[in-house]
Copies of this chain bind each other. A is one copy, B any other.
Amino acid sequence: MSSEARAYGDPDTRRRILLATWEAIEEIGADIRLRDVAERAGVSRQAVYLHFGDRGNLLLALVEFMPETLGFPKLLAHVFAATSGVEMLRRAVELHSTYNAKIDSVARVLEAAQYQDPALGAAWRERMTRSRAAHRMIVQRIADEGRLADGWTVEDAGDLFYTVTMQTPWRELTRELGWSSDRYAERMTKLLLDSFVAESTA
């Protein structure tokens, strides 16, 4: 489902187009024209179509490209390298507080486009599914350590953890209400730990 039949062209050009798309979205927003992308990449509009087929596929490629470029796997590994479930949760929220900021412009576009382009929607959903699983693993770890508070199942707490740390609440708090990254991380962590962890050390 990820790297399907490396289709066409110079990988370097492909990369330049993806970077240009990213840039264009950051500057212009959701209504970028492929002309804008092409101009920024220094290629013709048709080159974009030769590489990606259509707009949907371009955004689709961006879904893979961004985490790679931002070194997401390493950042995630740091979360899972923590020595306790509680510390994993702390690190996960911290990761959200910085990573969400980097992908926000693009995430906006993708969130909007997912319902119009089925392939894009599927890719976005897959990303969400992985994220959900990661959050649940952290809660599982807390439970394994005997620290999950009475009244919570791993599934319920995991799903809540996953959803309240989604892009939209983060965006509202930091972009619209002016919360800093640190404030977001600290307050959100407190909310979750207060409820999830028995005899909280928050």
Contact = CB atoms under 8 A, between A and B. Distances in A.
Contacts of A125: 176
Give the 3 A-B CB pairs with smallest separation, nearest first: A194-B195, A112-B112, A168-B168
The interface size bin for chain A is 35 or more
Q: Is the interface of A mostly helix, strand, loop or mixed?
A: helix
A116 B33 CA distance: 13
Nearest to A183: B156
Contacts of A128: 172, 176
A190 B195 contact: yes
A188 B29 CA distance: 33
A26 to B, nearest CB: 13
A191 interface: yes
Given A29-B115, A194-B194, A163 B159 contact: no
Contact of A163 (B115, B116, B169, B195): B169
Contact of A191 (B115, B160, B183, B202): B160
A163 B156 contact: no
Nearest to A177: B159
28 contacts: A29-B115, A30-B112, A30-B115, A30-B116, A31-B116, A108-B115, A111-B111, A111-B112, A112-B112, A125-B176, A128-B172, A149-B194, A151-B190, A159-B173, A159-B179, A160-B187, A160-B191, A162-B172, A163-B168, A163-B169, A164-B169, A164-B191, A167-B168, A168-B168, A168-B169, A191-B192, A191-B195, A192-B195
Contacts of A30: 112, 115-116
Interface string A115-131: 11000000001001000
Contacts of A195: 190-192, 194-195
